[in-house]
Structure formats: C-alpha cells, structure tokens
Structure 1
Amino acid sequence: MTDLGQELRKDVMSVKSKEMLAGCIGYFWPSDDGVINTEAEPERGYIRTFEDGTISLDTLNENLDKEHWYDNEDAQFPQAIAGATEHGGIALLNVFHRGANTAYGGTKASIHHYKARSAIIGMDFTTTRSTSITEGRVFFPSAARWAGIKTSEEIPTFDEDRRYTGFTLNVTQAPVQEVAVSEEITLFITSHWEFTGPEGQRTVRAPLEVGCRSTKPLHLGSHLGPLTRIQDLINLAFQSFTPASGGRVIMADDPTPAETPHLWNSNLMTTPAFAVNSKPSSVPLFSLSALGGVDSLPRWIQVCKEHPRSVGPIINHFRRGSLSPFSRILEVGAGIENWVNSHARTSSWAKDKTVTHALAKHIGDPFESWVGGDIEKWADIFWDSYNCTKHQPSYAPDPRDV
C-alpha cells in the first residue's frame, strides 16, 4: 500500500475512534496484569465518553453466584480492560474507578462501573495480547511554530498581470529530532501529515508530532509522563491549555500492524472546564530554540520531576483553572521559597535577604524587563504580600500590587 493509502486509512480509523468513544456496545475483559485473555467469560456492556474526556464503561453482572472483585477487600483497579465493540477493538488503560450496583430480583440489573483516562483504539486481539507499547505519539496542531518546524509550504502562481491563478501546497514530514530522556526512553519531535475528503473538498492536517520511543515494552503511563510534561511546556509558551488533537501507539506485540492503533488520553486531549485562557495566543512567549532546542526537553522533564512544588505554580493553572488572588500569592510564594531554598546549600546566588530578592537578582535583566522596573521594589512588595497573606487574617493588599 502507498503512503497516501496508509494516511487515508489512518483517518478512517479516526472516524471509527470518534464513533467508538461516542458510545457503543461490546464484550469486555478486565485484566489485572495487562494481558488480554479473550477466552475468559466476557462482561457485556456499553462504553461512552464524558465531557471531561474520561471514559465510562458499564457492564452487566450476569452471574451473581460467582465470586467478584468486590468480594475481595484487597482488590485493585484493573490494569487494562479489553473490549470487542461494534466498531472494533479497544483497550481501556489508566482505570481510576470501579464500582458496582447489585440487585437481587425485581426489574433492576446488576451493574459493574468502570472509569478510565486512556484508551488504545483499533487493537487487533488476534495479534496483540499485551497492552504494553514501544512508542506513543501525540499531535499538537498549533505548536509547530513553537518547535521551529515547518509542516507545509504554499507556492502561489500568477498570470502576467500578477493575478492569482492558483497555488501548490507541499506537505512533507519534517526531519526527526530526538534526544534520550532515560536509558529506556527516547523523546522525538517531527511533523505529522494526513489529508481527507473528496477531490473537491480536501482537508489537510499537518500538526507537530511529539513522541516517545522505548527500548523495551512499557506500560502506556511510562510514555504519557514525558508527553504530558512537553504539553505543559507548550501550555506555558502559549499561556493556554493546548490540547493534542489525537495520537498513535505502536504495540509491543504487533510493531507493524495493518492499521496503527489510535491513542486517547483525557489529560492530553480534553481542555479542562476551568482551564486558564481556553483560546491560546497565536504567538508563543518563547520558542523551543530559545531553550536550547530538543536537547533542552530532558532538562525540563527533570526539573518537573525534582521540583514539582516550584514548577507546579507556573503550569498547573492551565489545567485546573485560576485561583483567587490570595491563593495565587501563596502558591507562587511557596514555589519561589522551595526553588531558592533547594539551591541554598550549593549556590551562592540563593543567599540573600529574602528568597524573592535572590530569585529576581539571579535572573537579572530579563526579570527586570518582565516586571517592568525595579526588581528590588518588586521583591519587597511580593515578599511582604506573601508573608502578610500567610500570617495576618485581616490583611488587605493594595490591588495594584496584586
């Protein structure tokens, strides 16, 4: 099959994914170890997606005499739930809820309830028995400029009077840039392209592609961690939650499938209801090249891992929404304290009369430009506001300072 044919088949799978997540019936097999066993007795049920992107599965409990998970007080959430639906195969991952309604007699059915944050859609259970993957990638339609990647080129044509007569659109995959995140995982960025529609109504997509590749089979969560941190960085650049438009995975058991399974993850692909600035800026505050290119990404991931209390205040509100001014002062102040104090033993810059002075002076001219003036004055105002908010119940800050 040609590359064009493969891309068209991918989009057909996208349509199937939307149909499946919109709601469908099927047979389902919960798995405690992530290994799919379709020879076991299935649970018949209905799957659908909530507005927040989480996936709900309700199945019938058709054998009340059988021992169930709720009979065991030490029972854990399933590691995976495989499903054979009217639209194809699916595996639910990152299961975070399980419940049951049991009815004896009468007209009510006994039900099992499951909720999950991730799904692999389009799995072929004849070739795949494990939900482990070796590659996961997601697409960001508006982030190619931030990454310095050109995903398409338009070449107009004119007549002798300089009137438009047409144009040529070239869409090609950008060179892959990759960097090791750990001994097991390599992060890469490139561009993805696909087009759909009849001859007179083509739709072309050429988003930024960000992916993780592992040297051995890993659970989906091992790939989602780095991808989520990169999305946090993109959110920070655009000062808005920037959802991924879709994703793909390579299954460990089936590295060359006829149709590449699609990835769904609510955290990556659904804009939170209370997210800050739901409409991103068209121009990012900074580019990837300003940070040092793709080589800077492992450092960002490491900072997020080692200093979550410092990084959290600048990235979390794009996912969870705004706080009150007082809560925001406390959150940011605690983050600054954590960052400066974590460097106090090893760096002389972290030793100043207050942590705000230390941070402002360490950053220097860029910080002075950002606050629009005297960094000493800013440091005094913020430190006083932070301490008074913590310790004085009647404190009322100057609105101009806040």
Structure 2
Amino acid sequence: MNSLGAIIFLAAVFLFATFLNWYVFQAVKTLSLTLAAEKQRTIVSVAYWLIFQGLAVWLVLTFLKVFRMGEITAEIQTVMNVFLTIMVTQLVCVIFLFGEDIIRNAQAGLTYLANGFQGYSFPSRNKWVSLIAVTVAAVPFFSFVYGIKYGKFNYQVKEEVVYFDQLPEAFDGFRIVQISDIHSGSFKDDRGIQKGIDLVKEQNADLFVFTGDLVNHKADEIEPFISNFAQIQTPYGQFSVIGNHDYGDYVSWESPDAKKANFQRLLANHEKLGWTLLNDAHVRIEKDGQSIVVMGVENWGLGFKTQGDLAKALEGLSKEDFKVLLSHDPSHWEAEVKSHPMPIHLTLSGHTHGMQFGIETPVFRWSPVQYRYPNWAGLSEFGGRYLYVNRGFGFHAFSGRVGIWPEITVIELRKNSS
C-alpha cells in the first residue's frame, strides 16, 4: 500500500471507530440520566470518550506499525483482539439504536405533518431500548473474550463419508485425516496445540495430509513445535503442500537471497516434520494391488499467489486413476479443478479459516468470509467431484475463534455399490 493509500485507510479506520463510539455513546448517555448527580454523569461521559477514543488512536498507531514492519507481531494481535471485540459489540448495540432512530424519526415526521412546528419536539431516546441494546451487546463481547482465551484451542473433529464410483475396492473405508493453516507464528507455546495433535492421532487414519500455511511469515516459526507435529504418523504416510503465507511474501527481507533462504529452510522443515511435500507433484498409494493418487500443487488462489501448476502435477496420470488433490486455496477448485478435463475426484483445501468468526448450527451457518469464498468450509460437490475446505488448525491476526472452531477433518472414502 502506498503512502496516500495508507493515509486514506487509517483516516477511514479512525472515522469509523469514532462514528461507532458516538453512536453507542447515545445509549450510555441515556442510561447515565438515571444517575442523580450531574457530576456523576459528567464522569461517565468523560471516561467513555477517553477510553474508546484512546483505543481508536491505539488502533491507528498499530496499523502504522504493520505498514512499517510488514509483520503481525504478538502486540499487534492484542490490538486486533481488542478492536474486533469492541467493534462487533458496538455494531450489535448500534443495530438496536438505529432501529429506534427509525421509529423516532417516523414519529417526529408524523407530529410535524399533523401540527407543524407548533408543539413540535423530537422524541427522546427510550432508556429501556438503550438498556436492551447494551445488554444484548454483552453477548458478542463475552463470546469474543471466550474465543480469545479458550475458543482458539476448541478443536473439533469433522467427519465426512464420501462415495465414489471410481474408488478402487481396496480403498473402500480408507480414512484421510487433514489439518490446514497451522500458522505456527501465532502460538506462544505448545500447551494448546498438543490437544489438537492428540486428537489427530486418536483418529487412527490411514493417511495424513496438511494443506498449507505452516507459518505466518518465517520458516523458524514452526521450529519450536516440530517435535509436537512430528508425532503425527499414519500407515500410508504424511503429505503436505505450500500455502500463500509460506512464501514469506508479507514481510520485508534484507535481500532476495534472504527470502530465498527462508523458503528453502521452510521446505527443509517439512522434511523434519516427516511430511512429504507435493509441490506440483503426485505419489501413488498402493494397497492390496490397487492404488490411488495423492497430488499436490503449490499455492494457487484468486487474489493471491498463483504459483501452482496443476498440469505438472497431473503428468503421467490417466482419467482412470482415482485422484486426491491437495490445494491450499479453495478458489483453485472453483476456477480450474472442478471442470478440468482430467477428473480429480476429491480436493482438500483450507485457507479461509472460516474467518475465525461466525455462526454454525445444524440448520444455519454464516461467516463474513462467505462473501469472498462461496466454498468457505465443509463439503461441496460439482458433477461428482468433491471439495472439502478445512476451517484451519491455528489462527492469524485475530488470536481467537468465535463460533468457527479449529478443525481436524476425517474423510472416509467409500465405494458406491453397483
């Protein structure tokens, strides 16, 4: 982002935060009228503006650091946690206040039409509406507090059974366990992640796959946790691919050689983990004289790096081969894979994190990320070809999860009975 763009962005952030602060202050001011003393009301008002405008300034200064450093540090994560918690809480409060304002304006308009300016006064806010607004807004507030403290390690095992006509009989019931988006640079220690690793091991899967974003920015971020993730062993091997964060594109390097050395170190760390990297390549998994193909491409994503070469990964394969593709970004499936002349039966992706925030119930699910990615979590199908998008193992920028929990996926391959 250039200097002018950064200034415009920061100004917009500050103005938006100020607008939210002003709107929510209407409820605070209305409720403070219940205080008997004028001095107490003044203290409440001054304290509100000092706290919340101070947070807005803190946010802007933090974004300046991001632009200068090109890296999201632990300090910046803390600011993002506070900002998102307050912003979502305030937005919920504003919804109630805005609804009341529509009614108040309608009442004022009807009064004016009936009586003109004679006896005209704009309706004051109802303290009960303000109380309800503040009370309901407490729900997202405490949800974010929970998500930051506990939700980011609230690992969920998601199981899917997927049926295929072309699956070799020897692989009927074959279980693949998948994790994605570890983002190891966001972890402070291994106490939380070991819980997720133990869950992966408990699935007793035949094959393990990792679908990219091992780190936030730098190869050494995973190194304190190699012994933890290396515990994951499956009978038919462990395979992985590269995600957009793994290239080190989002930080500044002292030289192109330093960036290149970092990427080579990242590749070596996959080997230390015991994971076979499939960079535009494939391997054949043999079982009882039959086989399936596991393929992988480097990152290919709309709006992100399009490094992956699907044609290269498919070299030497035929339409009759049953293929499982590892591709970090689900937009690759939408743009190229699902309609490819060479059938790719199952694609496993990650990348979206479900935006680490949303609502998922048996009958309804929503996350802001759905406006960017039509296939943002779970299973999708097109013409007998399937995509599964993992919600991510770790977290990034916002160091928490609210409603969209970290995921361990188990895909069971089944053969359609003829």
TM-score, shorter chain, exceeding 0.5: no
TM-score (norm 2): 0.21
Structure holding more strand per residue: 1
Higher relative contact order (CA 8 A, sep 6+): 2
TM-score (norm 1): 0.21
